[in-house]
Structure 1
Amino acid sequence: MKLLVTGGAGFIGSAVVRRAMADGHSVVNLDALTYAACLENVASVADHPDYAFEQADIRDRAALDRIFSQHRPDAVMHLAAESHVDRSIDGPATFIETNVLGTFHLLEAARSYWNGQGRPQDFRFHHISTDEVFGSLGEEGMFTEETPYDPRSPYSASKASSDHMVRAWQETYGLPILLTNCSNNYGPFHFPEKLVPVVILNALANKPIAVYGKGENVRDWLYVEDHADALLLVLEKGKVGRSYNIGGENEARNIDLVQMICAILDRLRPGTRPYASLIEFVADRPGHDLRYAIDPARIRDELGWRPSVTLEEGLERTVRWYLDNEAWWRALLDREGVGRRLGTA
C-alpha cells in the first residue's frame, strides 16, 4: 500500500514509517516539524525511492488537498498530535488547534479525496489515539473498547474530541475508519520530555530525577516498535469502523519504573553513586490520573497480536540506545521546554 503517515517525524510516527518501509509499503511522511519532530528519526529510509516527505501542517487544508491529489494514498495513518500532558496544562490552545481542528481538516481532505476516487472500499483512515481518553482507574479494572470516555486533561480532552469526530465521519459520511487507543509508549527516538528519556538523561547528567507525588501512579508500558507492528496489523486486517485497544501488558508504578532504569544504568554505565540516589519527589501534576491499564483482548483474539517485548527487555534496549546515540539526543536539549518542568499552572 501507499500510506500517508501524519506526524511521521515524531516518536511513534517515525517507528511506523520505519516499520512500514521494512514491510514493503510506500510512505508519504507528512509532518509540520514542530518542536518534538526530528528528521533524524527517519534518516534510515529517507533515500528510499518509495519514501517521500512533505512538510505541512494538518490545519492547512489547501496543503492537504494538494498532498492527497499528488500522492494518491491507499490509506491514512493519523499520528500527528500534540501529546505532552504537561504542555497541555500550560498551553491548551495549541492542543485544541492541532488535535481537534487539525483532525477535522484531515478528515475533510480525506473525505474529499475518497469521494473523488469513487469511494473505494479498500481505503482506510486509521486514527491513532491514547488510553488517556478513558480517564483514571482505581486499583482494579482495565480499559476496554467499551469504556466510557472521561478525559481529565486538556490533552486527553482534545484526543477524545478527535476520536469522536473520526467515528462521526464514518457514521455520517461512510468514510472507512479504524481507531486505536494505546498505552504509554517508550523506546528509541523518544523526545526528551517524557518520563523514560528524562530519567535516563537526568541520571547521565547527574541531575535530580523528579518523580511526581509519591510515584504511585501506574501506567501500562508499550514498547514503541511493538506498537508500530500492531498499528500496521490493524490497518491491514482490522474491521472497518472498529476500535482496538493496544497495550503492553506491562503495568508498573512510576517509582518502580524509575528505579528499574536507574538499576540498568548502574550496570551499563556505573557512576560514583547509585543513580537512584538522584530521585526527588516533587509536587504532583494537577489532575494526575492514578492508573491506566489496557485490556488487549480484542486485538489479541481478533487479529492475533500480543506484545513481544517485556518491560525489562524494552527498558534495557532503550537505555542502551540512548547510551549509543548521544549525538541524537544532545542536539535536542536546547529545544523549547526541554530540561525544565512544565504543567505546574
Structure 2
Amino acid sequence: MSMEFSVIKRYGNAAINHEQNLCCPVEYDTKYLKIIPEEIIEKDYGCGDPLGKIKEGDTVLDLGSGGGKVPYIVSQIVGETGKVIGVDMNDDMLSLAKKYQREIIDTLGYDNVIFHKGKIQNLKLDLNKVDEYIKENPVASLTGFNSINDYIFHLEESFPMIKDNSIDVVISNCVLNLVSTKEKEQLFNEIYRVLKKGGKAVISDIVSNTEVPQELRDDENLWSACYSGAMEEKKFITAFENAGFYGITIDKRMETWTTIKDIDFRSMTVTAYKGKDGACLDKGQSVIYKGPFKHIEDDDDHIYQRGERTYVCEKAFNILKKEPYSQLFDFIEGDEHHISNDDECCASTCNC
C-alpha cells in the first residue's frame, strides 16, 4: 500500500467515524462554531491555529480542507466580500464538507466557500475534471492512457484549478507532513505560485527535532498519523526560504506532542510572505533600526545597527514598511544627495 493510499483510506474512515488519534486537539473561537454542524466539528483533525492573520475581504486557500470546519470559520472572518477555497483529495472528507453547505449558506446569508478535489502539491490540477474525463473515456489502451496525460497537461496549462497570483492568504493545518518527501519542494513552490505579491502563507504543521529515519518513514500508520512525514524544524523553515518567501516568522512553537524512538514531534505555526521579487533601485531612502538588539541582519545580508541610518534600495524600503518588519524601523524618504548614478542598485553590498 502506498503512503498516499494509506492517507486517503485513514482520513476517509475518519470522515465517517471520528478518530481521536489523528494530530492534536485545536480550539477555535466559539463564536465561529455556532453555525457549523457538530458532525463537521468533531471530525476536524488539526494541530494549530493558522487563522490569526486573515482579514475581511481576503481570498483564502485552505490546503487539506478536510470536512470543512476551517473554511466555514474563515468564511465568517473574510465576510461577504471575501472568498474561501478548500482543496482536499479525499472524497469522503469533501462529501462531509459539502453536506451542510446549503444550510450554512442560508444561515450566513452569503455564499463565499468553494471546495475542489485536488492534491495540495499540484494546485493546477482539478481531479474532479480528471475523474469526469476518465468516466467518459475509459482507458483500454496505450492510446487512451496518452490521451488522459494530454488532457491533464491541457487542464494544468489552460485551466489551472488555482491560478497564479490569485490568493491573499494560504493556510494549512497539519497537512503538509502527509505529502511525500520527494514532493515537498514542489508543494512549497505551489504555495508561492498561487499567492499574490504581498500575500502570505500561514502554516501549522507537525515538525520534528531531528531528521525522521527511513524506518519510521516506511511506517504507514505513523505517516497517516502525521508523524513520520514531518519535516525537521530547521528544514521546514528552509523550505520556505528556498521557495522565495521572506519575513519568515515562527508564530507558535508548541511543547512536544509525542516522542517516538527519541524523536520529539510538536506543532509549529509559521508565517511567510511573498513579494521580494523586483529590481533593486536607489531612491535615496533609508531606515533606522530602533532596537532592542545592537544590530540585526536580514535574509539579504543587510546589517542594521541600532540607532544608525542605513540606506536601502527602494524594494527593501517598501518591504520593511510592511509586516512583519514595520514596527522595528523608522523610515526616511529619499535623500537626493545620496542617490546613486547607477539605476540598477543602491550599493555594491546590496544582495536583494
- Structure whose residues are more often strand by fraction: 2
TM tier, smaller: under 0.3
Instruction: Give 1 or 2 for the bigger CA radius of gyration.
Output: 2
Q: Which one has more relative contact order, counting CA pairs under 8 Å at least 6 apart?
A: 1
Q: TM-score, normalised by structure 1?
A: 0.27
Q: TM-score, normalised by structure 2?
A: 0.27
